[in-house]
């Protein structure tokens, strides 16, 4: 039990001394992506292989109840520590294995590679074939920090992800874990904590970008004895996994930020609202809470300060609207997750009518380093109006997908082409959907736009939670808009008429357009309805639902016009706009295409070229699949 700040500091020194005795540390990524690719099997096999070679395994930082497959009561000599870590970020190349202190990174590791890794550890060598190789230059990189994907990153909120075992509280404490909490409780008043966050310039990383310190101070000043802290971990945007990775890879950092927030605003209870679809994150957060409580860092009289604070996990059922703060609070209260009008804002009247502070996972993860290193340090990172860093989940048609963290103000070009490695298969960049359904579309003309709150707002987009879906020239923009509208329409809670009916109408129009039945007046209707939904919806989901449609109509109007005027999909994606023809020079007159056509749209005589009636054709593609001579062709 850690009862004082002095005892916490002493334990940190003890554990740091133990860690310094390790000869090498092997970190196997155990984030969701790598686990799905078999990293846990790599971990098990590597433990066996290292033991078989007689290499000692360090378990100095293991608690009595936390021995892993790589630890043994009989083998506590300092040596090689083999650990499961959180997400390293480079999901495209997982499973990942990092060797410290060298900083060597192995990519795409399989169980059959383990023997070579164990041999290399014994000989202090490198397995060349497992190093990252640049797809264009074929240059090999041994060190993680030299790989282009990592070179321009700066990890603050994700500083410990991929570096520590997220299920071991001692490893977090070694990395200055709970030092910020000790500083706040012993050296700072609650007002001073709020002012430090204000001075840092930290803005909420959940999408809106509201100044975090101001929100804290408003909640502190609100009337009411009972107050609450809520961590919004309900990350539901398609293609987004930043918060999930942070909770999986460094749960104690989030918890520490929440405790500090509780002290700052005068709350004694916190809630982490998480998606039940994130079982690994839920497990690791719960274990971290149990361990922190067991060590006296959570609960009553934390570090002997007289401050009480505890945290409960609430699992959401997957409703996207529960990411909106008032709907989230309704869900915690046991009600249906539906938003309510504001004001009053949660800082004044939130959970059960009490003043409530709500921040997202990444926001809380930024708090400990701000208090340890100072607000001036944080303000020195990023842009003047948006200090600090931002995590992004970069996915889609980009060479290097994964989780990244960069200083605010990095340009889209730097993220897509330098960090992301450009478009897959040397394709041509077309657009990026930023911020999921709540964001907007950025095009080639925005490649040099700084990615921060204010710059994106000026072009009709927003950072949102940080999802970046990269698209190439083979992507149909209209279909992308339809996809996101389908998502938001399905997720609408139905409370607002404009959101409920407006998104349904917009989806219906978009569906007609991609089915080849659109008309020019449909574009005017989309614009008018979209603006009405933005203006009249109650919550952020409705107000931002039309963003993907309105921004793509603004920047890719010619593609919409091709669909409704020419009835042609330039990308050749929309099934309803595809046309099938038979090349008479290739057709052998075998009649197989006519025999498989479900609607009798193909006619002709055997041993003579067959033809397709475009009026009858339902564009199912069965004829193309059946033709052995490549005579059936698809034309845009």
- Residue 512 is part of a domain; what is its CATH number? 1.20.1440.230
Reading the block at residue 322, the tokens are 């529960």
Residue 71 has pLDDT above 60, yes or no: no
Asked if 220 and 260 sit in the same domain, the reply is yes
pLDDT, greater one: 208 or 166: 166
C-beta of residue 484 within 8 angstroms of C-beta of residue 477: no
pLDDT at 58: 53
Q: Write phi, then psi, for 626 (nearest 5 degrees).
A: -80, -30
Asked if 529 and 423 sit in the same domain, the reply is no
**For residue 539, is it left (φ>0), alpha (ψ between -120 and 50) or beta?**
beta
pLDDT at 320: 81
pLDDT at 27: 94
Residue 418 to residues 30, 166, 341, 430, 469: CA-CA distances in angstroms?
26, 29, 43, 16, 16
Write down which residue in 516, 531, 564 finishes a domain: 564
Domain count across the chain: 5
Asked if 360 and 484 sit in the same domain, the reply is no
With CA atoms as reference, report the closest residue to 635 among 589, 585, 588, 566: 566
- Residue 395 is part of a domain; what is its CATH number? 3.10.20.600
- What would the pLDDT profile of 362-383 be if each residue is shown by its tens digit? 999 999 999 999 999 999 999 9
Asked if 357 and 282 sit in the same domain, the reply is yes
pLDDT at 75: 41
Residue 1 has pLDDT above 70, yes or no: yes
Residue 77 has pLDDT above 50, yes or no: no
Whether the ω angle into residue 343 lies within 30 degrees of 0, i.e. cis, is yes
Q: Which residues pair with 382 in a beta bridge?
A: 387
Calculate what percentage of the chain has a pLDDT beyond 70. 96
What span, in angstroms and rounded, lies between the C-alpha atoms of 290 and 284? 10
Asked if 254 and 374 sit in the same domain, the reply is yes
| pLDDT tier at 74, thresholds 50, 70, 90 | very low
Which of 18-32, 103-117, 541-555, 570-584 is most confident? Answer: 103-117
pLDDT at 60: 47
Largest CA distance in the chain: 93
Asked if 481 and 467 sit in the same domain, the reply is no
Write down which residue in 472, 496, 521 finishes a domain: 472
Query: Among 4-13, 38-47, 454-463, 482-491, where is mean pLDDT lowest?
Result: 454-463
Q: Please report which helix (H) or strand (E) contains residue 423, including its range.
A: none
154 is a domain residue: no
Whether the ω angle into residue 344 lies within 30 degrees of 0, i.e. cis, is yes
What span, in angstroms and rounded, lies between the C-alpha atoms of 245 and 86? 7
Residue 72 has pLDDT above 70, yes or no: no
Residue 236 has pLDDT above 90, yes or no: no
Average model confidence (pLDDT) across the chain? 90
With CA atoms as reference, report the closest residue to 311 among 368, 370, 246, 233: 233
pLDDT, greater one: 254 or 579: 254
| pLDDT tier at 458, thresholds 50, 70, 90 | confident
Asked if 503 and 623 sit in the same domain, the reply is no
394 is a domain residue: yes
Asked if 274 and 188 sit in the same domain, the reply is yes
Asked if 530 and 601 sit in the same domain, the reply is no
What span, in angstroms and rounded, lies between the C-alpha atoms of 566 and 636? 10
- What would the pLDDT profile of 580-591 be if each residue is shown by its tens digit? 999 999 999 999
pLDDT at 510: 96
Asked if 511 and 544 sit in the same domain, the reply is yes
Which range marks the domain in which residue 629 is found?
578-635
Write down which residue in 340, 357, 379 finishes a domain: 379
14 is a domain residue: yes
Residue 298 to residues 14, 181, 219, 370: CA-CA distances in angstroms?
22, 11, 21, 21
| pLDDT tier at 549, thresholds 50, 70, 90 | very high
What's the first-to-final CA gap in the chain, in angstroms? 69
Mean pLDDT, residues 329-358: 93
pLDDT at 76: 43
pLDDT at 78: 54
90 is a domain residue: yes
Asked if 360 and 446 sit in the same domain, the reply is no
With CA atoms as reference, report the closest residue to 34 among 403, 519, 411: 403
Residue 452 has pLDDT above 60, yes or no: yes
Rg, C-alpha atoms of the chain = 28
Helix residue ranges per DSSP H, 309-360: 325-332
159 is a domain residue: no
pLDDT at 67: 41
What span, in angstroms and rounded, lies between the C-alpha atoms of 468 and 465? 10
What span, in angstroms and rounded, lies between the C-alpha atoms of 552 and 570? 15
C-beta of residue 254 within 8 angstroms of C-beta of residue 361: yes
- Residue 111 is part of a domain; what is its CATH number? 3.40.30.10
What span, in angstroms and rounded, lies between the C-alpha atoms of 137 and 134? 6
485 is a domain residue: yes
With CA atoms as reference, report the closest residue to 542 among 494, 602, 474, 611: 494
Query: Among 28-42, 108-122, 267-281, 447-461, where is mean pLDDT lowest?
Result: 447-461
C-beta of residue 178 within 8 angstroms of C-beta of residue 8: yes
Beta strands in 382-490 (DSSP E): 389-396, 402-407, 429-434, 440-443, 467-472
Mean pLDDT, residues 151-161: 94
Query: Among 25-34, 360-369, 489-498, where is mean pLDDT lowest?
Result: 489-498
Q: Which residues pair with 25 in a beta bridge?
A: 81, 100
162 is a domain residue: no
Mean pLDDT, residues 514-525: 93
Mean pLDDT, residues 293-299: 96
| pLDDT tier at 59, thresholds 50, 70, 90 | very low
What span, in angstroms and rounded, lies between the C-alpha atoms of 495 and 176? 46
Asked if 68 and 131 sit in the same domain, the reply is yes
State the DSSP string of 469-536.
Answer: EEEETTS-HHHHHHHHHHHHHHH--S-SHHHHHHHHHHHHHHHHHHTT---HHHHHHHHHHHHHHHHH
Q: Please report which helix (H) or strand (E) contains residue 195, including its range.
A: helix 190-200
Residue 508 has pLDDT above 90, yes or no: yes
66 is a domain residue: yes
- Residue 602 is part of a domain; what is its CATH number? 3.30.70.20
What span, in angstroms and rounded, lies between the C-alpha atoms of 226 and 268? 8
């Amino acid at each position: 039990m850690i009862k004082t700040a002095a005892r916490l500091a002493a334990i940190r020194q003890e554990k740091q001394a133990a860690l310094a005795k390790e000869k090498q540390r092997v970190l196997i990524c155990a984030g969701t992506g790598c686990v799905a690719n078999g990293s846990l099997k790599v971990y098990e096999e590597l433990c066996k292989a290292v033991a078989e070679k007689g290499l000692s395994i360090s378990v100095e930082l293991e608690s009595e109840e936390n021995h892993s497959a790589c630890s043994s009561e009989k083998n506590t000599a300092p040596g090689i520590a083999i650990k499961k870590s959180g997400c390293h970020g480079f999901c495209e190349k997982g499973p990942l294995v990092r060797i410290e202190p060298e900083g060597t990174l192995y990519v795409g590791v399989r169980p059959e590679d383990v023997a070579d890794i164990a041999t290399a550890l014994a000989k202090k060598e490198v397995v060349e074939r497992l190093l990252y190789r640049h797809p264009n230059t074929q240059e090999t990189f041994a060190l993680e920090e030299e790989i282009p994907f990592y070179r321009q990153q700066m990890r603050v909120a994700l500083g410990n992800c991929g570096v520590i075992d997220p299920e071991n509280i001692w490893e977090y404490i070694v990395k200055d874990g709970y030092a910020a909490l000790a500083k706040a409780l012993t050296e700072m008043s609650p007002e001073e904590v709020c002012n430090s966050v204000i001075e840092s310039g930290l803005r909420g990383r959940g999408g809106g970008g509201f100044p975090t310190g101001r929100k804290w101070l408003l909640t502190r000043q609100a009337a009411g004895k009972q107050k609450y802290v809520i961590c919004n971990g309900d990350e539901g945007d398609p293609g987004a996994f930043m918060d999930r990775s942070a909770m999986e890879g460094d749960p104690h950092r989030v918890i520490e930020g929440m405790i500090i927030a509780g002290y700052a605003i005068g709350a004694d209870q916190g809630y982490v609202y998480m998606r039940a679809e994130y079982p690994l994150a839920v497990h690791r957060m719960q274990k971290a809470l149990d361990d922190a409580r067991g060590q006296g860092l959570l609960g009553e009289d934390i570090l002997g300060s007289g401050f009480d604070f505890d945290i409960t996990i609430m699992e959401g059922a997957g409703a996207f609207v529960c990411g909106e703060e008032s709907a989230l609070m309704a869900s915690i209260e046991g009600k249906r997750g539906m938003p309510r009008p504001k004001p009053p804002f949660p800082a004044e009247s939130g959970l059960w009518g009490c003043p409530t502070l709500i921040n997202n996972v990444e926001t809380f993860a930024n708090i400990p380093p701000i208090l340890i290193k100072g607000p001036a340090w944080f303000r020195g990172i990023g842009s003047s109006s948006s200090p600090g860093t931002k995590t992004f989940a970069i996915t889609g048609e980009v060479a290097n997908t994964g989780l990244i963290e960069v200083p605010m103000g990095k340009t889209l070009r730097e993220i897509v082409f330098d960090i992301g490695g450009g478009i897959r298969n040397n394709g041509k960049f077309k657009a990026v959907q930023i911020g999921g359904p709540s964001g907007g579309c950025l095009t080639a003309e925005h490649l040099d736009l700084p990615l921060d709150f204010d710059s994106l707002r000026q072009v009709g987009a927003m950072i949102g939670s940080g999802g970046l879906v990269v698209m190439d020239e083979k992507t149909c923009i209209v279909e992308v808009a339809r996809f996101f509208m389908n998502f938001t329409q399905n997720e609408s809670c139905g409370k607002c008429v404009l959101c409920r009916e407006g998104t349904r109408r917009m989806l219906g129009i978009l569906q007609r357009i991609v089915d080849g039945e659109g008309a020019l007046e449909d574009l005017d209707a989309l614009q008018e309805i979209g603006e009405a939904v933005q203006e009249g919806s109650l919550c952020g989901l409705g107000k931002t639902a039309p963003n993907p449609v309105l921004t793509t109509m603004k920047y890719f109007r010619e593609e919409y016009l091709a669909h409704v005027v020419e009835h042609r999909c330039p990308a050749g994606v929309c099934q309803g706009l595809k046309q099938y023809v038979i090349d008479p020079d290739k057709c052998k007159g075998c009649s197989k295409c006519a025999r498989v056509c479900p609607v009798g749209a193909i006619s002709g005589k055997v041993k003579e070229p067959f033809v397709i009636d475009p009026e009858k054709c339902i564009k199912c593609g069965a004829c193309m699949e059946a033709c052995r001579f490549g005579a059936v062709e698809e034309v845009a």
